[in-house]
Amino acid sequence: MRCVIARFPFDLTKGEVEQSMSGITPEPVTGVSVTIDRRPYPVMQVGEVITRQNRRDFTVAEMRRALTRLGFTCHDAPPVAPPRYAQDDEDALGW
């Protein structure tokens, strides 16, 4: 399928993307992610690998749109846990 990423056309298939990412260790997910072979990858990492471009050259939206069109499942950023305060721990112990 033809995808335009960072103003460059790419002819990509789902199998080619899976093969490109097969030997790559996923980075920790802090934003939008995509599931490839049951492993979550940040979409920017996938974009960098398959386009061989710097991550600053394309956006998350471009990558998400391209990966979704190829048939991958993209996920929003995980929710941020609220900060814990030391005072909460003291109240729990009854001090």
> Tell me: the pLDDT tens digits for 27-56?
999 899 999 999 999 999 999 999 999 999
Q: Does the pLDDT value for residue 1 go beyond 70? A: yes
Exposure b/e, 45-78, CB count within 10 A at least 16 = b: bbbbebbeeeeeebebebbbbbbeebebebeeee
> Is residue 40 classed exposed, middle or buried when 0-12, 13-18 and 19+ CB atoms within 10 A define those classes?
middle
State the DSSP H helix or E strand holding residue 69, giving kind and residue range, or none if neither. helix 60-69
**Residue 90 confidence (pLDDT) above 60:** no
**pTM summary value:** 0.78
At residue 6, the pLDDT reads 87
Average pLDDT, stretch 72-85?
78
Using the predicted structure, report yes or no on whether residue 66 has a pLDDT greater than 60: yes
